[in-house]
A and B are shown apart, each in its own frame.
Chain A
């Protein structure tokens, strides 16, 4: 097996459990990981979402913490974020991405703008763990 990296979604996870998972990953494994932590446990569905719209209403957060905002995160956005992470982020480094839903309206400007909106321009936007 030549597993290069794992992408882990901490959905519906408490902050303490998510930190426990990160600690396990950092201590027990050498495989680089991308740990995506939605700061809300509320996920919703965007009905008019298409693949070409990419990441729509996701904004990064600087620290791994639960958000007081109650806006639910779209599952489609989370899926697009996972795909964008595989496309854009260096698979040799580990990182933790904490995201929350923005209150912006849907755009139709395409994936590149969406990547930029979500902060997926460079890996330096995130906390590098390795």
Chain B
């Protein structure tokens, strides 16, 4: 098939129009693949996705996310996820999620997440709760038996029944910001 020049309208439109991208639930196999693709794009091309100072961000909840992410990145040559790329986040808190998405242009979401109950790592996003456990959302293609799938409705939510789903909450995070330019 002949290759015809394309006119990009997104982040490849201008040299300095790099976009910063955050992936929610990057610990899953699909999320890690998306993160790897974005990270390689940022490293390979001088435009498109921002590499510095706002690196592609993998937003996870516990150390399970980065561990799964790093193991999945082996399919990409030269792809990496350093400490700067990973933001451990309390997904039950809109404020924390809002803080993690601060100054980011694009957010990659999924309508469905798998949830894995895991222990909160000390010294991460906040002191552990009473139980010390939280849910790690994973953007995965297939849910395992021991993973509780996130609700398929917008209203019900296994993490916080009154707080809306992760999909809902991630969108609401921007809405709750007092200083946002773009409001959802």
Give A residues with C-beta under 8 Å from B.
1-14, 17-18, 20-21, 24-25, 28-31, 43, 45, 49-51, 75-76, 78-80, 82-83, 85-91, 109-110, 112-113, 115-117, 120-123
Map CB proximity to A onto B128-155 as digits: 1 under 8 Å, 0 otherwise: 0000000000010111000000001110
14 examples of A-B residue contacts, CB within 8 angstroms: A1-B98, A1-B103, A1-B174, A1-B181, A3-B174, A18-B111, A21-B167, A24-B154, A30-B183, A50-B76, A83-B49, A88-B6, A90-B9, A117-B1
A1 to B179, Cβ gap below 8 A?
yes
Residues from chain B with Cβ under 8 Å of A85 in the complex:
10
CA distance A29 to B9 in the complex (A): 22
CA distance A21 to B164 in the complex (A): 13
B9: contacting residue among A13, A113, A123, CB under 8 A: A123
CA distance A13 to B109 in the complex (A): 13
B19 to A4, Cβ gap below 8 A?
yes
Residues from chain B with Cβ under 8 Å of A9 in the complex:
30, 108-111, 139
CA distance A125 to B69 in the complex (A): 33
Give B residues with C-beta under 8 Å from A.
1, 3-12, 19, 21, 29-30, 33-34, 36-38, 40-41, 44, 48-49, 75-77, 79, 98, 101-112, 139, 141-143, 152-154, 167-168, 170-171, 173-174, 177, 179-184
CB distance from A23 to the nearest CB of B (A): 10
Please give me the residue from chain B that is nearest to A54 by CB atom: B37
Residues from chain A with Cβ under 8 Å of B11 in the complex:
86-87, 91
**Contacts A8-B109, A10-B111, A13-B111; A3 near B104 (Cβ below 8 A):** yes
A43: contacting residue among B48, B142, B180, CB under 8 A: B142
CA distance A1 to B96 in the complex (A): 12
Most chain B beta carbons < 10 A, residue from A11, A17, A113:
A11
Residues from chain B with Cβ under 8 Å of A79 in the complex:
30, 33-34, 36-37
B182 to A87, Cβ gap below 8 A?
no
Residues from chain A with Cβ under 8 Å of B12 in the complex:
87-88
**Contacts A80-B37, A86-B21; A7 near B106 (Cβ below 8 A):** yes
